[in-house]
């Protein structure tokens, strides 16, 4: 007994000592504790300074540098955007850290949308890969390069769902579907932020533009968005929720109004949903000047009013409108804004700065050595080519013209887009290196060497303008050639911000050129370069082979030639519907059935149809061909009925019935046939990208849960309802096999 007592006393003693040891080295303060301690030291002006972001390009000038330095020293600048480079950033950071009263580091933001110096395919192209891993890797490399240049925050991913191809920023998102868009949003957040924001090669991500910016009426940039709450929650919010669930550290508020309230001061969206319901721990930032634009919206009477409405709605950081720094201290002193509201915004921003490790080492992102080593690193260039190939969609391949034989004697390459190193970067390449890109023409020359004669003719100038002489020269070249590659589409700056188009056909005279080449009836491959769906029925009818190559970035040329010559079998699928004619827009696969559904062929009077065109698009959502063919078995279900809370296995066998290996994106859609609100005829609920050797067959199984069947009813309750469902499995949103089951 005595021994036991002795051992017990001895062990107690150890615990006490450990406690003493611990007590001496008191536990590290948490980030929250550090933030509270700092907040208590801050004056009201210094707090508001953290909410103030300047555009370095907009404010920099000889005279203003001194003013800026003074404002930084006074702690009135929490963030800059549009400055990059380890040295330039370090110089500014030193002023803030070493010469301001509290030494709070600045956070430096930049639009690293799809790559920093190494440019990856535009986001809509990446969505066409349906390869979530590849998309995450692309963002990861962008973060590695941007952070090496001093950047700690990117204004990406843009997660706006877009169903109107007139809208230029459709290029910047993941297309029309919230299920695919949500997976991509989360993947890009993971890629940018990595596992630990304090790592020097990770950067804060920013889900934008919250919310429903892509629902701009008539596809006109910055235009009004107006919709039911059901549509908002079923279509436009899910990618933001996915980004928040993936841990995104910031959210950018939009330029648009939604249902009468500008999104930059929309308390319902920003405070009730984002911060309270979703418990978003990060901070919000306005879009460029959007807080002050409340006056244009007719929502604020003046700048003071705009500042009051923005901060009280939950807008934390003011990008470049200066209304926070000019008006918030006064608004607090006259009681129109509570200091607690300011404190909440400051906490959120300081918390992210601590998580980035900026307080531990404000210069951790400013290593000129890393900058030299990592920008345009060979493995980044290699990854850019591999990812770009996956984004290419084969739209047509009559007579198996593709892949091209390697012994072609003469090839005519027509179209100035083939010779462009800038357009292939798309409209949001920001700091993307302009020397590194490899054009299609250059890649063809490098691949074919002297074995094949290449006859190049620009065929048209910028924006599709051309002359009869240019067309004649192009036709002449095509006549001399065994094969023509016709590169047509948009210039890189014809999509992106403030680039809506009321006509989404080939620009200006390009159709004339295309028509002249088609009339030759010679083997021709069309290589499309564009940032949005185009109305290209004449191209579809006029040519045997069409590749959708979007804007593929630094390695566009090599990626396209890899596909042209069969080194890579195209596996992309459209993340947006291509309308037959503009008049069908908005057109998307998840349409409602209506009370008078029109049969696809010869729809009779009295059904939902047009008198002049069919309802069907030119190419449906999820469409993409391969150099091989895939055969689908019937759909098998693990049961013909399930109870609430149970799940259902949906399976099919896919066989590669062709002679070359290929990848297929097997898609799963559902339809809730009867519900308390009408439901779309199809909704994407799963996909798997599989690789199959010639002759190989694979069983593909999906698990459908009750949650996958849930929706918002008229009282905004999110739940599944009993009843009959259909499931569809196939190669795109139209080519599907179906089965049905009951949910009890």
Q: Residue 81 or 248: which CB sits closer to ligand GLC?
A: 81
- Report the site for ligand GLC in 201-230 (rule: CB under 6 A): 208
CB of residue 131 to ligand GLC, shortest distance in Å = 24
Query: Which residues does residue 414 pair with via DSSP β-bridges, in sequence order?
Result: 457, 486
CB of residue 279 to ligand GLC, shortest distance in Å = 25
Q: Residue 208 or 389: which CB sits closer to ligand GLC?
A: 208
Q: Residue 287 or 663: which CB sits closer to ligand GLC?
A: 287
In this structure, the number of other CB atoms found within 10 A of the CB of residue 532 comes to 27
Q: Residue 117 or 682: which CB sits closer to ligand GLC?
A: 117
- Report the site for ligand GLC in 672-731 (rule: CB under 6 A): none
- Report the site for ligand GLC in 486-545 (rule: CB under 6 A): 497
- Report the site for ligand GLC in 142-201 (rule: CB under 6 A): 155
- Report the site for ligand GLC in 242-281 (rule: CB under 6 A): none
Element (H, E) at 393: strand 393-397
d(CA 104, CA 93): 9
Taking a C-beta distance cutoff of 8 angstroms, is the pair 431, 154 a contact?
A: no
Secondary structure (H, E, C), 156-182 = CCECCCCCCCCCHHHHHCCCCCHHHHH
CB of residue 265 to ligand GLC, shortest distance in Å = 16
CB of residue 289 to ligand GLC, shortest distance in Å = 8
Q: Residue 255 or 669: which CB sits closer to ligand GLC?
A: 255
Tokens of 104: 């709070």
Query: Pick from 508, 514, 433: which is nearest to 463 by CA?
Result: 508
Residue 83 — φ and ψ, nearest 5°? Answer: -125, 140
Q: Can 287 be counted among the known catalytic residues?
A: yes
Does position 84 bind ligand GLC by CB under 6 A? no
Residue 70 — φ and ψ, nearest 5°? Answer: -65, -45
What is the end-to-end Cα distance of the chain in Å, rounded? 65
Q: Residue 111 or 257: which CB sits closer to ligand GLC?
A: 111
d(CA 248, CA 263): 19
CB of residue 287 to ligand GLC, shortest distance in Å = 5
| Catalytic entry in 287, 433, 509, 732 | 287
CA 604, 609, 613, 616: dihedral to nearest 10 degrees?
-110
Radius of gyration of the chain, Cα coordinates, nearest whole angstrom: 28
Q: Which residue is nearest to ligand GLC (CB)?
A: 155
- Report the site for ligand GLC in 278-317 (rule: CB under 6 A): 287-288
Q: Residue 269 or 485: which CB sits closer to ligand GLC?
A: 269
CB of residue 272 to ligand GLC, shortest distance in Å = 24
Tokens of 240: 């933001």
Query: Pick from 684, 557, 566: which is nearest to 620 by CA?
Result: 684
Number of residues located near ligand GLC, criterion CB under 6 A: 7
Out of 46, 71, 84, 111, point to the residue binding ligand GLC (CB under 6 A): 111
CB of residue 236 to ligand GLC, shortest distance in Å = 16
Q: Annotate 620-681 with DSSP letters as a single string.
A: -TT--B-SS-EEE---EES-SEE-TT-EEEEEEEEEE-SSS-EEEEEEEEEEESS-SS---S
Q: Residue 81 or 526: which CB sits closer to ligand GLC?
A: 81
Stretch 426-465: interaction string toward ligand GLC, x if CB under 6 A: ----------------------------------------
Taking a C-beta distance cutoff of 8 angstroms, is the pair 185, 88 a contact?
A: no
Taking a C-beta distance cutoff of 8 angstroms, is the pair 736, 638 a contact?
A: no
Element (H, E) at 727: strand 723-730
CB of residue 376 to ligand GLC, shortest distance in Å = 23
Which residues of the shown chain bind ligand GLC in the complex (CB under 6 A)? 81, 111, 155, 208, 287-288, 497
Q: Catalytic positions, please?
A: 287
């Amino acid at each position: 007994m005595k021994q036991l007592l002795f051992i017990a006393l001895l062990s107690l003693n150890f615990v006490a000592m450990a406690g003493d040891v611990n007590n001496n080295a008191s536990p590290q303060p948490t980030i929250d504790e550090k933030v509270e301690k700092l907040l208590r030291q801050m004056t009201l002006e210094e707090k508001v300074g953290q909410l103030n972001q300047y555009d370095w390009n907009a404010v920099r000038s000889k005279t203003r540098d001194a003013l800026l330095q003074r404002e930084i020293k006074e702690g009135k600048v929490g963030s800059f955007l549009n400055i990059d480079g380890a040295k330039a950033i370090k110089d500014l950071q030193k002023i803030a850290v070493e010469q301001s009263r509290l030494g709070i580091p600045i956070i430096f933001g930049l639009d690293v949308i799809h790559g920093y110096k190494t440019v990856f395919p535009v986001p809509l192209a990446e969505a066409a890969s349906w390869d979530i891993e590849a998309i995450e890797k692309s963002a990861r490399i962008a973060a590695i390069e941007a952070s090496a240049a001093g950047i700690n925050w990117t204004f990406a991913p843009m997660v706006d769902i877009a169903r109107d191809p007139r809208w230029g920023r459709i290029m910047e998102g993941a297309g029309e579907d919230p299920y695919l868009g949500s997976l991509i949003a989360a993947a890009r957040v993971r890629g940018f932020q990595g596992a630990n924001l304090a790592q020097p090669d990770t950067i804060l991500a920013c889900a934008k533009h919250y919310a429903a910016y892509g629902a701009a009426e008539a596809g006109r940039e910055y235009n009004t968005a107006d919709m039911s709450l059901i549509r908002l929650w079923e279509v436009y919010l899910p990618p933001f929720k996915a980004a928040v669930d993936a841990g995104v550290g910031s959210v950018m508020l939009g330029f648009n109004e939604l249902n009468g309230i500008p999104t930059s001061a929309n308390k319902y969206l920003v405070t009730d949903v984002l911060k309270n319901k979703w418990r978003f721990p990060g901070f919000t930032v306005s879009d460029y000047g959007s807080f002050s634009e409340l006056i244009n919206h007719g929502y604020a009477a003046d700048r003071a009013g705009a500042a009051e409405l923005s901060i009280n709605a939950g807008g934390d950081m003011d990008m470049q409108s200066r209304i926070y720094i000019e008006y918030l201290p006064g608004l607090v002193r006259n009681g129109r804004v509570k200091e607690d509201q300011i404190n909440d915004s400051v906490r959120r921003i300081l918390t992210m700065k601590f998580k980035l490790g900026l307080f531990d080492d404000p210069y951790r992102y400013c290593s000129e050595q890393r900058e030299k080593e990592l920008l345009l690193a060979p493995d980044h260039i290699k990854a850019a080519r591999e990812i770009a190939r996956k984004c290419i969609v084969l739209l047509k391949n009559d007579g198996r013209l593709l892949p091209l034989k390697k012994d072609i004697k003469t090839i005519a390459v027509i179209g100035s887009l083939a010779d462009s190193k800038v357009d292939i970067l798309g409209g949001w390449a920001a700091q993307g290196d302009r020397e590194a890109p490899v054009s299609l023409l250059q890649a063809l020359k490098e691949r074919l060497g002297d074995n094949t004669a290449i006859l190049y003719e620009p065929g048209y100038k910028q924006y599709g303008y051309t002359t009869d002489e240019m067309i004649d020269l192009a036709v002449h070249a095509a006549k001399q050639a065994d094969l023509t590659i016709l590169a047509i589409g948009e210039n890189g700056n014809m999509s992106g911000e403030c680039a809506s188009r009321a006509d989404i056909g080939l620009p200006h005279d390009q159709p004339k050129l295309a028509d002249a080449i088609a009339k030759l009836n010679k083997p021709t491959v069309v290589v499309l370069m564009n940032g949005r769906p185009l109305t290209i029925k004449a191209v579809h009818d006029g040519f045997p082979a069409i590749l959708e190559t979007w804007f593929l970035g630094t390695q566009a040329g090599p990626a396209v030639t890899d596909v042209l010559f069969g080194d890579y079998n195209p596996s992309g699928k459209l993340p947006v519907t291509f309308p037959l004619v503009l008049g069908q827009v908005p057109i998307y696969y998840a349409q409602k059935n209506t009370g008078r559904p029109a049969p696809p062929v010869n729809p009779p009077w009295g059904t939902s149809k047009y008198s002049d065109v069919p309802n069907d698009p030119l190419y449906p959502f999820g469409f993409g061909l391969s150099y091989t063919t895939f055969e689908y078995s019937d759909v098998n279900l693990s049961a013909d009925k399930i109870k609430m809370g149970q799940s259902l296995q949906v399976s099919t066998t896919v066989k590669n019935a062709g002679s070359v290996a290929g990848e297929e994106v097997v898609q799963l859609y559902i339809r809730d046939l009867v519900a308390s609100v009408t439901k779309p005829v199809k909704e994407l609920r799963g996909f798997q990208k599989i690789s199959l050797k010639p002759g190989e067959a694979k069983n593909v199984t999906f698990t459908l849960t009750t949650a996958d069947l849930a929706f918002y009813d008229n009282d905004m309750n999110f739940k599944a309802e009993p009843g009959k469902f259909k499931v569809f499995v196939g190669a795109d949103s139209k080519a599907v096999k179906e089965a049905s089951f009951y949910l009890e």
